[in-house]
Amino acid sequence: MNRIARALLVLALLAASVAIVGAAPALAAPAPHINTVTPQQGPSGTPVLITGSNFGAPNPLSTVTFNGVQGTPTIWQDGLIFAQVPDGATSGPVVVRTLAGPSNGVQFTVTNIPQPAQTWYLAEGSTAWGFETFILMENTTDVDATVNVTYNTAQYGSIPRVQPLNIPPSSRVTLRVNDDIPNVDVATELASSQPIVCERAIYWNNRIEGTDSIGTTQLAKTWYLAEGCTLYPFETWVCIQNPNLTTAANVDITYMTDKGPVEKPTFQVGAGQRTTIDISKDVGQANVSTRVVSDQNVVCERSMYWDGRRGGHDSIGVSAPSTSWYLAEGSTAWGFQTWLLLQNPNDNAAKVTVTYMTSAGPVKEPVLTLAPNSRQTINVNSKVTNMDTSIEVASDTEVIAERAMYWNNGTGKAGTDTVGFTAPTKTLYLAEGSTAWGFETFVCIQNPNDKQIAVNVVYLTNNGAQAGGEAVVPANSRVTINVGNALPNTDTSIKLTCPDTFMAERAMYWNSKGAGHVSIGWVPTND
């Protein structure tokens, strides 16, 4: 069995909670012995998995050293240890010492800390409970991107992937997380040598249903999540990722419900861990928006399920409210029900104007008042009838906007959800997309300008870039591209560019539209 296979086997045993706990070593016990050290190199702070025998039970006198410098164990069992490479360590042997004496030494090379061009964070993910989790990575450059992956788990803290990933220029790569770290709730950190775009998709129940969300490149101490419901048949969960390897995060949550604000007592998210909060245990039955405040930089997402998890959707949070929001997808035709979710986290009321940019032109609604520290739900179907529509939200006070859609093709209720964008852009990337495996993929392009625009489409496939032509979008309107018409039977990311500003989302469906998910794209920081 090679080194990678051994490491994966150890992770599988960990995730299945198969722990070998030995008795505390006595003086006559055999000395510890190290079999493997994974990885075999890395900078200070790297979590290292040490496997072997006779490590004994945790003991204040038992140590792990890296060339003589003592490390910090986070898990100590008779057959395995997790420990971080300490500051000040140099290249040399890893040694486990117990009351029975020192182990053999296994070489570990301490490297300089690489400076990634970009780091992505994805707070949600699970390979337990019947879930499959995939990371979709789009290389936006013309050179290879090397991506180092670290998993922040609920059970075992931070676990680095044994091998980095390579993403060729102008292409897309998919990582199935279950193959790396089974049976665990997991958040993901991806440090890339080149700018990339990352999304995460989750499927369950034999892939009858799934969710998807863009990641984020920004850590923050405050996060807002506009959507949420614990009324039957919904369940709502907040996922919090703490990628800091040395410091736990102290977290406070304020729920803005239709019954008033609810404060959650302070709790901790451990260093390098991910924590999941069942909102119903805090607020009971309510429509709810959420504000998360931490003393450390973290990442937050929210997942919702309904009808015994027949359906579900998910969205990344936002780290700041805004006076403007753009939501490119939306429809009140084809059997869709669309809802706009507005969150006001301020102590004063917000005056909000909503404009629907339909396939027949703009529809501007009267100003509505959003009460302080509250959330309001708008039934879009009651505003525009039997139309595809994008949405623009303008407020005199900074708020948060999300959009949820629901439908039923006869096999059960399905749905999608995403937060909006705060400003239109001239360049946008969408990491996920497929017209193979039974998927349909659509790109929804919103034009908030008072003139017609033409958006250039490029598909970044596993075999490189392919031209997708231009999409002409009338003023203050929206158009939808069926990717399968131009690119059948292909996994693809998407690049959109335009001399004028626009906004776009990508929607995917499968099982004859019995399920679907959606995501906003990523805007380059220099756009």
**So what's the pLDDT on residue 25?**
45
Residue for token pair 């299945």: 16
Looking at residue 30, what DSSP letter applies? P
**Coil/strand/helix, residue 3:** helix
Is 300 in the same domain as 170? Answer: yes
**So what's the pLDDT on residue 44?**
82
**So what's the pLDDT on residue 527?**
56
**So what's the pLDDT on residue 157?**
87
Is 159 in the same domain as 96? Answer: no
Is 129 in the same domain as 90? Answer: no
**So what's the pLDDT on residue 400?**
97
CB-based burial label for 398 (10 Å; 0-12, 13-18, 19+): middle
Q: What residue ranges in 85-126 does DSSP mark as E strands?
A: 92-98, 101-102, 106-110, 118-122
340: which 2 tokens? 């706009």
Is 311 in the same domain as 234? Answer: yes
**So what's the pLDDT on residue 23?**
44
Among the candidates 110, 140, 163, a domain finishes at 110
Pairing of strands 374-379, 157-160: unpaired
Is 96 in the same domain as 119? Answer: no
Alpha-carbon span 120 to 525, nearest angstrom: 14
Alpha-carbon span 471 to 204, nearest angstrom: 34
Among the candidates 64, 90, 110, a domain finishes at 110
Q: What backbone torsions phi and psi does residue 340 show, to the nearest 5 degrees?
A: -105, 125
475: which 2 tokens? 């003023």
**So what's the pLDDT on residue 113?**
61
Is 266 in the same domain as 203? Answer: yes
Looking at residue 208, what DSSP letter applies? T
- Domain range holding 463? 425-520
Residue 369: inside a domain: no
**So what's the pLDDT on residue 7?**
44
**So what's the pLDDT on residue 14?**
45
Among the candidates 320, 352, 375, a domain finishes at 320
**So what's the pLDDT on residue 525?**
74
**So what's the pLDDT on residue 318?**
96
Q: How many structural domains comprise the chain?
A: 3
**So what's the pLDDT on residue 84?**
86
Residue 250: inside a domain: yes
**So what's the pLDDT on residue 526?**
64
Is 128 in the same domain as 229? Answer: yes
CB-based burial label for 104 (10 Å; 0-12, 13-18, 19+): middle
Cα–Cα separations (whole angstroms), residue 163 to 84, 186, 431: 18, 18, 22
397: which 2 tokens? 């006070």
Alpha-carbon span 194 to 207, nearest angstrom: 32
Q: Are the beta carbons of 42 and 61 closer than 8 angstroms?
A: no
Give the CA dihedral 251, 323, 400, 264, nearest 10 degrees.
Answer: 30
Is 76 in the same domain as 137? Answer: no
- pLDDT by residue for the chain (527 residues), tens digit each? 333 343 443 444 444 333 333 444 444 689 999 999 988 988 887 889 999 999 999 888 999 999 999 998 888 999 999 898 998 899 999 999 999 999 999 999 998 766 788 999 999 999 999 999 999 999 999 999 999 999 999 888 888 887 889 999 999 999 999 999 999 999 999 999 999 999 999 999 999 999 999 999 999 999 999 999 999 999 999 999 999 988 999 999 999 987 889 999 999 999 999 999 999 999 999 999 999 999 999 999 999 999 999 999 999 999 999 999 999 999 999 999 999 999 999 999 999 999 999 988 899 999 999 999 999 999 999 999 999 999 999 999 999 999 999 999 999 999 999 999 999 999 999 999 999 999 999 999 999 999 999 999 999 998 889 999 999 999 999 999 999 999 999 999 999 999 999 999 999 999 999 999 999 999 987 65
Residue for token pair 């033409």: 454
